[in-house]
Amino acid sequence: VEAQRDQSMQASLNTATALVSDYYSGVEVDLKLFVQRSDTVTAMKNLTRALEELRMGLKERAAPQLQAAYVTENPNQEDRSAVDSVGAKGATYDAPHKRFHPGFRTLKVERAYSDVLLISPVGDVVYSVAKNTDFAGNVVNDPALASSGLGQVFAAAKDLPEGSAAFVDYTQYGPTGTPQSFMAMPVYEKDEATGVMVLSISPATLSARISSLSGLGQTGEVVLVGQDGLLRSESPRTNEPDVLT
């Protein structure tokens, strides 16, 4: 009986390992498919240009105006990502945002990502589906963003060759107030890097897959643990958040 239990436990661990590997392989595939699309390249260039043009007129007030229009004064505070246009409040940025937002939002919703972001070569967050406070920020000049998982993954990805991905493990992310991991890939137009596409990943999806594993008896469970000894998945047996504890 004990041998059978050990075999069942090992099988569950092997399955969990495969689930984690397959999940992140799927995230990398999503990135690769999107960065190769011509409309992603166009979105990166057009949204970057729109922010730059806004800066020409508004100077340092450009980013705060966009953050107010799409974040703090967003008409749908329960789901800011549901808004594709804020009209005149978005100035010249609103038209390209309205054009490209539905496609990126579909990726976020269907694949259960926390966010999909585009970052210009100089570190401007020129686009975000979720419209957290990192939108229109700069992951190079803003110390808080630069030291965050988003800033770290941008720094790691911006000079990578085409088709290569960078990954940053779960850390507490200020703009969401929750643990997030990030995977990013540069967006190229021919030989020119036009920016970086980033997927923000919450623990929820992976936790649900791992917690659904069977063959562990009534009291057994599998959780994902990082090299630092902290949890990377939620336990269905607790009511409080477990990740990074």
Give the model's pLDDT for residue 218: 58
Angle at 197 between CA 79 and CA 97, to 5 degrees: 50
DSSP symbol at 190: T
Give me the count of residues in the chain: 245
pLDDT of 46-85, one tens digit each?
Answer: 999 999 999 999 999 999 999 999 999 999 999 999 999 9
pLDDT of 81-102, one tens digit each?
Answer: 999 999 999 999 999 999 999 9
Helices (H) and strands (E) in the chain, counts: 7, 5
126: number of CA atoms within 13 Å, CB side? Answer: 30
pLDDT tens, residue order, the chain (245 aa): 566 666 766 676 677 778 888 989 999 999 999 999 999 999 999 999 999 999 999 999 999 999 999 999 999 999 999 999 999 999 999 999 999 999 999 999 999 999 999 999 999 999 999 999 999 999 999 999 999 999 999 999 999 999 999 999 999 999 999 999 999 999 999 999 999 999 999 988 888 877 766 555 555 677 778 888 888 888 777 888 888 88
DSSP symbol at 117: E
Indicate the SS3 state at residue 110: helix
Q: Which residues of 33-48 are buried (b: 16+ CB within 10 A; e: fewer)?
A: ebbeeeebbebbbbbb
Query: CA-based diameter of the chain, in Å?
Result: 75
Residue 173, both tokens: 């992310």
